[in-house]
């Protein structure tokens, strides 16, 4: 169902990498004759074919098919021990990145080469100026906490060209299907806004560097998503979002499945509108697998990205905890981008090579509760000189260490019902009427620096009160899970049997990258919730129009 061939316009991979290699060699010859010499140069071209179809209210809102080609130049002037990527400390107009999104023509030839040379020339001038400022900056500042080199050279080059699947999408068939499903969403008077969308992306990355590497690799990813929104009588904004991510568009849910999703999403929206707004809370919490995955992504994952241990402005939460326990001894955590499928789902964070040309590798983070190390790019830190294939970026940004597939495993597990029983017991022991179960989330964020509180926020979208006296669970809304890492981890008591997958995109310094988090249910003896932000506007006064454009009601909505 929904199959047709999307034709690609990019030049053959071998032709492109040959051109990039020639331009790289030419630039190195010219730049090496200058006073400030580069010690490393990489060129990367990202070819992306994208199909997006969205619908609302029974009609297609947009249907787009496009190709885009973006250039990235990674240039380092100076020496591996100290180069032009080194952070500047204190105020400086040079601290911000000079990079911008460089679009290239699809065809090889003069225009392509000219665009590459123009960007190379500009990047060299910026880096040659920056290294001078870095040396001066270092001479007048105190000694840095981490004196590791700025770059980790590789002894061996990599030459590889991996096959990239074609992307098959029948855009017209999806337009028809999504239009019908979007009409179902709008049947409810309480749905104030809705959208159904499919987005499929084929990404081909061509990479060459001054160490002799030449790599072509890529991915195909597709997502179908559905969103309905409303405003409760108290002004609270209600949002229900469901999605499915796959590596093969033909594996996307069928129209029948999506129709079922639409009905369930509207029913859940109604339930949330009628649910009471919760109050701030401190007590036992049970996170289901998806929520646990986002919890570890925010509380733990960003704090073990290697480059953060090198920056003086960062909190470096776990920098001094290598070889020490930070979690219960039944918990392991690792990040492995080589895993394509797990727990019944395709994983967004799967890739073969990172954006610095390093093969993706499993990074051991926690073993039997003991912290093992960091996610590493080619920027070393003390005690961790080598990359483990986690240097990532979106096109147009400089790569830094980022998560891929962050996976939590438990050696000791309990059933969901056993966890609920313990949740109620902890609540009773704390003289509370209920514990809280978080069933679903809509993302989160974290602060890792030193100036603002080193805290996290996991944005709960579906949460329940689980009562000590055994009465029926109560759906609640309007609260987010908040806290700090060590306090949260010290309260982790048990884990569930089955793992769930959260697929999404994570934003940080190097832009938005696809990620996955896989985790079991997790039970905490005590966590904290705060009030979610709340709107102040009442629901719309005017009725929604009927199918013929007229109002279905005699008066106006209250």
Separation in Å, CA 425 to CA 227, 527, 529: 36, 15, 19
Whether 80 and 170 map to the same domain: the answer is: yes
> Which domain range does residue 347 map to?
281-531
Whether 333 and 201 map to the same domain: the answer is: no
Count of structural domains within the chain: 2
Q: Examine the fold and report which residue of 274, 308, 335 is the final residue of a domain before the chain moves on.
A: 274
Q: Residue 208 falls within a domain, yes or no?
A: yes
Whether 301 and 446 map to the same domain: the answer is: yes
Unique residue bearing structure tokens 């919760």: 278
172-205 pLDDT per residue, tens: 999 999 999 999 999 999 999 999 999 999 999 9
CA 158 to chain centre: 27
Query: 214: how many CB neighbours lie within 10 A of its CB?
Result: 21
Whether 212 and 249 map to the same domain: the answer is: yes
Q: Residue 6 falls within a domain, yes or no?
A: no
Q: Residue 554 falls within a domain, yes or no?
A: no
Whether 206 and 311 map to the same domain: the answer is: no
Q: Examine the fold and report which residue of 219, 243, 274 is the final residue of a domain before the chain moves on.
A: 274
Q: Residue 486 falls within a domain, yes or no?
A: yes
Whether 144 and 267 map to the same domain: the answer is: yes
Per-residue pLDDT of the chain (558 residues; tens, 9 = 90+): 222 323 333 455 689 999 999 999 999 999 999 999 999 999 999 999 999 999 999 999 999 999 999 999 999 999 999 999 998 887 554 455 567 889 999 888 999 999 999 999 999 999 999 999 999 998 898 988 889 999 999 989 999 999 999 998 999 999 999 999 999 999 999 999 999 999 999 999 999 999 999 999 999 999 999 999 999 988 899 999 999 999 999 999 999 999 999 999 999 999 999 999 999 999 999 999 999 999 999 999 999 999 999 888 888 999 999 999 999 999 999 999 999 999 999 999 999 999 999 999 999 999 999 999 999 999 999 999 999 999 999 999 999 999 999 999 999 999 999 999 999 999 999 999 999 999 998 878 888 888 787 888 888 999 999 999 999 999 999 999 999 999 999 999 999 999 999 999 999 999 999 999 999 999 999 999 999 887 788 888 788 886 555 444 333 233
What pTM does this model have? 0.92
Give the DSSP letter of residue 456: E
Whether 484 and 336 map to the same domain: the answer is: yes
Whether 221 and 195 map to the same domain: the answer is: yes
Q: Residue 540 falls within a domain, yes or no?
A: no
Q: Examine the fold and report which residue of 227, 243, 274 is the final residue of a domain before the chain moves on.
A: 274
The answer to whether 389 and 374 have CB atoms below 8 angstroms apart is no
Query: 541: how many CB neighbours lie within 10 A of its CB?
Result: 8
Q: State which H helix or E strand residue 259 sits in.
A: helix 255-274
SS (H, E, C) 313-334: CECCCCCCCCCCECCCCCEEEE
Here the CATH number for the domain that contains residue 80 is: 3.30.2290.10
The answer to whether 252 and 260 have CB atoms below 8 angstroms apart is no
Say how far apart CA 439 and CA 431 lie, in whole Å: 24
Write down the pLDDT at residue 281: 97
Concatenated DSSP letters of 502-541: EEEEEEETTEEEEEEEEEEEEEEEEEEEEEPP---PPPPS
Concatenated DSSP letters of 81-108: TEETTSPPPSS-TTSS-----EE--SS-
Q: Residue 556 falls within a domain, yes or no?
A: no
Whether 303 and 253 map to the same domain: the answer is: no
Say how far apart CA 385 and CA 404 lie, in whole Å: 20
Q: Residue 550 falls within a domain, yes or no?
A: no
332-359 pLDDT per residue, tens: 999 999 999 999 999 999 999 999 999 9
Considering the chain, what is the average pLDDT of its residues?
92
Q: For residue 275, which of 240, 316, 309, 300 has the smallest C-alpha distance?
A: 240
Whether 482 and 347 map to the same domain: the answer is: yes
Both tokens assigned to 44:
């990367």
Q: For residue 48, which of 462, 470, 396, 441 has the smallest C-alpha distance?
A: 396
Whether 297 and 351 map to the same domain: the answer is: yes
Q: Residue 536 falls within a domain, yes or no?
A: no
Whether 263 and 399 map to the same domain: the answer is: no
């Amino acid at each position: 169902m929904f199959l047709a061939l999307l034709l690609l316009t990019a030049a053959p991979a071998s032709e492109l990498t040959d051109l990039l290699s020639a331009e790289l060699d030419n630039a190195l010859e010219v730049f090496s004759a200058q006073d400030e010499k580069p010690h490393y140069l990489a060129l990367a071209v990202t070819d992306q074919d994208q199909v997006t179809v969205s619908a609302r209210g029974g009609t297609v809102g947009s249907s787009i098919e496009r190709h885009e080609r973006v250039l990235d130049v990674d240039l380092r002037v100076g020496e591996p021990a100290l180069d032009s990527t080194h952070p500047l400390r204190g105020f400086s107009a040079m601290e911000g990145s000079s990079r911008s999104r460089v679009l290239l023509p699809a065809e090889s030839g003069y225009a392509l080469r000219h665009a590459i040379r123009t960007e190379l020339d500009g990047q060299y001038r910026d880096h040659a100026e920056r290294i001078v400022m870095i040396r001066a900056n270092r001479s007048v500042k105190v000694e840095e906490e981490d004196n590791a080199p700025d770059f980790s050279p590789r002894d061996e080059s990599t030459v590889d060209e991996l096959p990239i699947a074609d992307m098959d999408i029948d855009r017209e068939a999806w337009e028809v299907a999504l239009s019908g499903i979007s009409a179902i969403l709008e049947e409810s008077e309480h749905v104030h806004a809705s959208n159904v969308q499919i987005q499929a992306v084929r990404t081909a990355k061509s990479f060459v560097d001054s160490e002799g590497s030449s790599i072509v690799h890529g991915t195909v990813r597709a997502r179908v998503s559905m969103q309905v929104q409303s405003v409760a009588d108290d002004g609270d904004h209600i949002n229900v979002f469901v999605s499915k991510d796959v590596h093969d568009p033909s594996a996307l849910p069928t129209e029948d499945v999506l129709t079922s999703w639409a009905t369930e999403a509207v029913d859940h929206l109604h339930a949330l509108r009628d649910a009471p707004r919760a109050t701030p809370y401190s007590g036992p919490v049970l996170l289901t697998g998806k929520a646990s995955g986002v919890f570890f992504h925010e509380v733990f994952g960003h704090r073990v990205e290697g480059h953060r241990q090198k920056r003086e402005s960062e909190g470096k939460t776990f920098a001094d905890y290598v070889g020490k326990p930070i979690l219960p001894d039944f918990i392991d955590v690792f990040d492995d981008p080589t895993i394509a499928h797990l727990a019944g789902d395709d994983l967004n964070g799967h890739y073969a090579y990172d954006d610095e040309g390093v093969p993706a590798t499993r990074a051991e983070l926690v073993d039997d509760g003991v912290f093992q190390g960091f996610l590493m790019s080619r920027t070393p830190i003390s005690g961790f000189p080598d990359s483990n294939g986690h240097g990532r970026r979106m096109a147009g940004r400089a790569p830094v260490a980022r998560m891929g597939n962050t996976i939590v495993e438990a050696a000791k597990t309990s059933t969901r019902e056993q966890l609920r029983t313990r949740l109620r017991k902890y609540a009773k022991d704390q003289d509370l009427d209920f514990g809280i179960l978080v069933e679903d989330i809509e993302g989160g964020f974290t602060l890792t620096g030193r100036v603002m509180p080193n805290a996290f926020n996991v944005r709960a979208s579906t949460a329940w009160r689980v009562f000590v006296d055994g009465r029926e669970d109560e759906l609640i809304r309007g609260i987010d899970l908040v806290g700090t890492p060590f306090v949260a981890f010290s309260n982790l008591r048990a884990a569930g049997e089955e793992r769930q997958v959260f697929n999404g995109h994570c934003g940080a310094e190097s832009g938005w990258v696809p990620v996955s988090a896989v985790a079991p249910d997790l039970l905490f003896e005590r966590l904290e919730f705060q009030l979610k932000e709340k709107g102040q506007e009442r629901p719309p006064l005017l009725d929604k129009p009927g199918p013929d454009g007229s109002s279905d009601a005699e008066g106006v909505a209250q």
